[in-house]
Amino acid sequence: MLRRILLGSALILLASRPALAEDGSELWLRYRKTSDPARLAEYRATIQSLVMHGESPTLTVAREEILRGLRGILDREVTIDTEPTRDGFVIVGTASNLIPSINVARELGKVGKEGYVIRSITVGGRKGTVITANTDVGVLYGVFAFLRELQTSKPIRKLAIASGPAIQIRMLDHWDNLDRSVERGYAGKALWEWSKLPDTLSPRYKDYARANASIGINGASITNVNANAKFLTPEYLAKSAAIANVLRPYGIRVYLTARFSAPIEIGGLKTADPLDPAVRKWWADKTDEVYRFIPDFGGYVVKANSEGQPGPQDYKRTHADGANMFADALAPHGGVVMWRAFVYSQDVPTDRVKQAYDEFKPLDGQFRDNVMVQVKNGPLDFQPREPFSPLFGAMPKTPLMMEFQITKEYLGQDTHLAYLGALFEEVLRADTYAKGKGSTVAKVIDGSLHSYKRTGIAGVANVGSDVNWTGSQFNQSNWYAFGRLAWNPREASRDIADDWVRETFTNDQAAVARIREMMIRSREAVVNYMTPLGLAHIMATGHHYGPAPWVKLSRPDWSPTYYHRADSIGIGFDRTATGSNAVAQYFPAVRDRYANRKTVPDSVLLWFHHVGWGEKLSSGRTLWDELVWRYNAGVTSVHDMQRTWTNVQDNVDPERFKEVQSFLAIQEKEARWWRDAALTYFQTFSHRPIPAAFEQPAHPLAYYQQLRCPADRNKPRCEAIP
Ligand code: GCV
């Protein structure tokens, strides 16, 4: 009787204990108990004790992480041993911390400073696993990689993994402001609580560092490229230093954005001329001061003479003069300057997409060794699809960094589901033909094509103060995919999505496949319902959220009409020799393919050509019908995504299931809005009907033109959209 009463109260207790909230805050580091019983038995047998020698802040966090991960995944504690004296040991450490009988020198010789080796081994007749590296941070990366194997339910009895990063600097660029607003941020406020720093350290800084280290990110530029000189004052350097102290054990270096006019604004000088000795001395002294605060400071990221930012051209100097001034200040400390190539001006009469190449290509060879030129993936501005920037391959003497945008400024921001792994992969695999076939963009940025001594890749961060970090559950996958591709730009985005789904949601085979395929197709869905066939920049002015292809501003280079050029004859920007000839900036094989109407892929057709409404495309449809078809395909894809998500309901926790479901509903509504707004507008030029087989727009053009959709996610959305 007593037993029954006790049992009963235990049940009540269990029932009343709140379930662990699945709010997305744990990202892909959830470390839940392995669900497959056979796999769990394998893990418990293979992982019984942890042997870990060596002391350092990085090894301490590696130990913390492996214990935390194993506790969750195995659902029990592992024994801590000093020697591998039993089967199922896991020995972790740099080669110098391992016991001499473990010889992994050959593998370690191949993985570089930050790489790791994970191998199943036998020591003194005992079976176990070694996680080792040449450096402490390599060990940390190895720990995360091992935990990933477990989280993705891989067999671990015969491990033989050796991996090192292909790119040296793998960083996030935060566009975070002093007031905690985030330029193009859709996940709440900035992570950095400037007013509380340096005395208060949010626990999120450490979780941010863990998440980054788990995917190999080793740098963070923590301030907006539209820079504020105040960040370079001692008061703010102390705050940045406090952040750097938290990130350091995780192998992450802090970078800051440098406002070109800082010598005037906070230095009391009359000029910021990069050739002026007083200015040069000011930057040298300032940089010495930065290193006193942050001894392992990575360097500066600079946006100059771009969108109103000050720069060397204000003093009739070149971008090389400007970049070299910073480079000289940083060189004694081993720092680098990342000089952005995102420059264009309405005063330059050429096609905006030509301007970065025209400006920077002639400067190849004029930059100091510690200058890296940071180039956006496409020649315009992070559109749902652009061809790769022609600068890739064109500057063999200057290390070019890739700049991707993880925050989806032009791809539906927080609510629309668009897996960017597919976009990143498309760009990285694009062939520049700089040195013949196979000269991919990946080979440019990993340095192998031009033997760059420095290599780097940056992603504009999508993280903020939201509980789920990124504004939506699926936006986490873009942070994840960026890190994974930064480590290995040749990895398939599909495999990365597979891992992410397993770590984030479920290991159920069928559900994984469904969610993964939904992700893979999601980017093309967005391309189709926003900017199919190579259209670009037809988003609403300013916030860039909804459609506004009709907008014509006093600045043509910000005007949708400038980009789509629709008229009674057709649509598209002629960038061939009969137009702006931007296509000539590519190497001949690419140039000829894009310039020729017969060979240009449909995906970038209207980027390079003005095409008649009635012209036939490869599908056999006229351009107009193809446009209608694609816009509708985009909407249909979102319906498919909704169906897929419903089908995995049983495999996903209710909290996150609901959130994703509600966002998909927004996406469906807004995909139709995009389609109907764009088609009713373009129809005023084509004068062709939307074939009867397709859903007809619910409203006339004037209705769509008066809709306003605020950028701020906390304001009401475009509720009136049918
Ligand atoms: C930081 C786009 C964005 C701007 C951004 C700029 C850049 O134009 O809309 O917000 O400014 O790119 O990359 O510098």
Ligand 1 centre distance from Cα of residue 341 (Å): 12
Residue-wise pLDDT for 477-514, tens only, equals 999 999 999 999 999 999 999 999 999 999 999 999 99
Give the pTM.
0.96
CA distances 372 to 294, 323, 364, 522, 588, Å, are: 21, 9, 11, 33, 26
What's the rounded mean pLDDT across residues 541-550? 93
Per-residue pLDDT at 709 exceeds 80: no
Per-residue pLDDT at 8 exceeds 70: no
My answer on whether omega of the bond before 100 falls inside 30° of 0, hence cis, is no
Which atom number of ligand 1 is nearest to the Cα of residue 403? 13
What's the rounded mean pLDDT across residues 686-690? 98
Q: Which helix (H) or strand (E) holds 405?
A: strand 400-405
Query: pLDDT > 70: what percent of the chain?
Result: 95
Model confidence at 717, pLDDT cuts 50, 70, 90, reads low
Q: What is the pLDDT of residue 6?
A: 40
Mean pLDDT of the chain: 95
Rounded-to-integer distance, Cα 312 and Cα 303, Å = 11
Q: What is the pLDDT of residue 711?
A: 59
Indicate whether residue 381 lines ligand 1 (CB < 6 A): yes
Ligand 1 centre distance from Cα of residue 405 (Å): 10
Which atom number of ligand 1 is nearest to the Cα of residue 405? 13
Ligand 1 centre distance from Cα of residue 243 (Å): 25
Ligand 1 centre distance from Cα of residue 172 (Å): 15
What tokens appear for 645 in the block? 């998500």
Indicate whether residue 402 lines ligand 1 (CB < 6 A): no
Q: Whose CA is nearest to atom 2 of ligand 1?
A: 381
Lowest mean pLDDT among 52-56, 68-72, 278-282: 52-56
Which atom number of ligand 1 is nearest to the Cα of residue 303? 14
Catalogue the long-range contacts made by 602-606 (C-beta closer than 8 Å, 24 or more residues apart). Answer: 602/533, 602/534, 602/626, 603/385, 603/527, 603/533, 603/534, 604/385, 604/386, 604/387, 604/534, 605/533, 605/534, 605/572, 606/533, 606/534, 606/535, 606/564, 606/571, 606/572, 606/573
Which atom number of ligand 1 is nearest to the Cα of residue 226? 1
In this structure, which amino acid lies at residue 701?
L
Q: Which residues are catalytic?
A: 307, 381, 409
Q: Which helix (H) or strand (E) holds 571?
A: strand 570-571
Ligand 1 centre distance from Cα of residue 184 (Å): 8
Indicate whether residue 385 lines ligand 1 (CB < 6 A): no
Q: What is the pLDDT of residue 658?
A: 97
In this structure, which amino acid lies at residue 656?
R
Which atom number of ligand 1 is nearest to the Cα of residue 183? 10
Q: Checking phi first, is residue 672 left (phi over 0); if not, alpha (psi -120 to 50) or beta? A: alpha
Indicate whether residue 175 lines ligand 1 (CB < 6 A): yes
Q: What is the DSSP letter of 656?
A: H
Rounded-to-integer distance, Cα 320 and Cα 398, Å = 11
Which atom number of ligand 1 is nearest to the Cα of residue 460? 13
548 neighbors 539 (Cβ within 8 angstroms): yes
Residues 6+ apart with CB under 8 A from 505: 511, 515, 648, 651, 652, 656
In this structure, which amino acid lies at residue 123?
V
Testing ligand 1's pocket by substitution, the residue of 340, 342, 352, 406 carrying the most ligand atoms inside 8 A of its CB is 342
Q: Whose CA is nearest to atom 13 of ligand 1?
A: 342
Residue-wise pLDDT for 168-220, tens only, equals 999 999 999 999 999 999 999 999 999 999 999 999 999 999 999 999 999 99
What's the rounded mean pLDDT across residues 286-311? 98
Model confidence at 15, pLDDT cuts 50, 70, 90, reads very low
Indicate whether residue 557 lines ligand 1 (CB < 6 A): no
Ligand 1 centre distance from Cα of residue 163 (Å): 34
Q: Which helix (H) or strand (E) holds 271?
A: none
470 neighbors 419 (Cβ within 8 angstroms): no
What's the rounded mean pLDDT across residues 655-662? 97
Indicate whether residue 404 lines ligand 1 (CB < 6 A): no
Testing ligand 1's pocket by substitution, the residue of 307, 460, 559 carrying the most ligand atoms inside 8 A of its CB is 307
CA-closest candidate to residue 128, choices 88, 176, 92, 78 = 88
Indicate whether residue 91 lines ligand 1 (CB < 6 A): no
Give all strands (DSSP E) within 586-639, no chain letters.
Answer: 611-612
Residue-wise pLDDT for 589-615, tens only, equals 999 999 999 999 999 999 999 999 999
Which atom number of ligand 1 is nearest to the Cα of residue 306? 14
What tokens appear for 95 in the block? 């080669």
179 neighbors 97 (Cβ within 8 angstroms): no
Catalogue the long-range contacts made by 696-705 (C-beta closer than 8 Å, 24 or more residues apart). Answer: 698/722, 701/550, 701/677, 704/547, 704/673, 704/676, 704/677, 704/680, 705/548, 705/550, 705/677, 705/681
Model confidence at 718, pLDDT cuts 50, 70, 90, reads low
Q: Whose CA is nearest to atom 7 of ligand 1?
A: 342
121 neighbors 51 (Cβ within 8 angstroms): no
Per-residue pLDDT at 17 exceeds 90: no
Ligand 1 centre distance from Cα of residue 413 (Å): 14
What's the rounded mean pLDDT across residues 117-141? 97
Testing ligand 1's pocket by substitution, the residue of 174, 184, 376 carrying the most ligand atoms inside 8 A of its CB is 184
CA distances 282 to 127, 242, 258, Å, are: 60, 24, 13
Compute the C-alpha angle 347/351/355, nearest 5°: 70
Ligand 1 centre distance from Cα of residue 409 (Å): 9
Indicate whether residue 301 lines ligand 1 (CB < 6 A): no
Which atom number of ligand 1 is nearest to the Cα of residue 544? 9
**Listing from the earlier edge strand, what are the strands of the sheet with 126-133?**
79-81, 49-52, 89-94, 126-133, 116-123, 160-163
Residue-wise pLDDT for 412-430, tens only, equals 999 999 999 999 999 999 9
Per-residue pLDDT at 566 exceeds 50: yes
Q: Whose CA is nearest to atom 12 of ligand 1?
A: 381
Indicate whether residue 705 lines ligand 1 (CB < 6 A): no
Ligand 1 centre distance from Cα of residue 673 (Å): 25
Model confidence at 449, pLDDT cuts 50, 70, 90, reads very high
CA-closest candidate to residue 675, choices 563, 532, 541, 534 = 532
Give all strands (DSSP E) within 160-298, no chain letters.
Answer: 160-163, 169-173, 219-221, 253-257
Question: Distance between terminal CA atoms of the chain?
Answer: 62
Q: Identify the bridge partners of residue 401 per DSSP, sorted by sequence position.
A: 374
Which atom number of ligand 1 is nearest to the Cα of residue 184? 10
Ligand 1 centre distance from Cα of residue 217 (Å): 22
* DSSP notation for 324-391: HHHHHHHGGGT-EEEEE-----TTS-S-GGGHHHHHHGGGTT-S-TTEEEEEESSSSSS-SS-PPPTT
Model confidence at 431, pLDDT cuts 50, 70, 90, reads very high
Indicate whether residue 174 lines ligand 1 (CB < 6 A): no
Taken in order of first residue, the domains within the chain and their CATH numbers are: 2-163 (3.30.379.10), 174-493 (3.20.20.80), 528-573+610-720 (3.90.1330.10)
Per-residue pLDDT at 394 exceeds 70: yes
The neighbour count for residue 643, using CB atoms within 10 Å, is 12
Query: pLDDT > 90: what percent of the chain?
Result: 92
Q: What is the DSSP letter of 558?
A: G
187 neighbors 464 (Cβ within 8 angstroms): yes
Indicate whether residue 225 lines ligand 1 (CB < 6 A): yes
Per-residue pLDDT at 332 exceeds 90: yes
Q: What is the pLDDT of residue 707?
A: 87
Ligand 1 centre distance from Cα of residue 156 (Å): 45
Rounded-to-integer distance, Cα 400 and Cα 205, Å = 29
Q: Identify the bridge partners of residue 299 per DSSP, sorted by sequence position.
A: 255, 336
Compute the C-alpha angle 84/88/90, nearest 5°: 60
Compute the C-alpha angle 436/437/442, nearest 5°: 100
Rounded-to-integer distance, Cα 344 and Cα 329, Å = 27
Indicate whether residue 343 lines ligand 1 (CB < 6 A): no
Q: Which helix (H) or strand (E) holds 189?
A: none
Indicate whether residue 280 lines ligand 1 (CB < 6 A): no
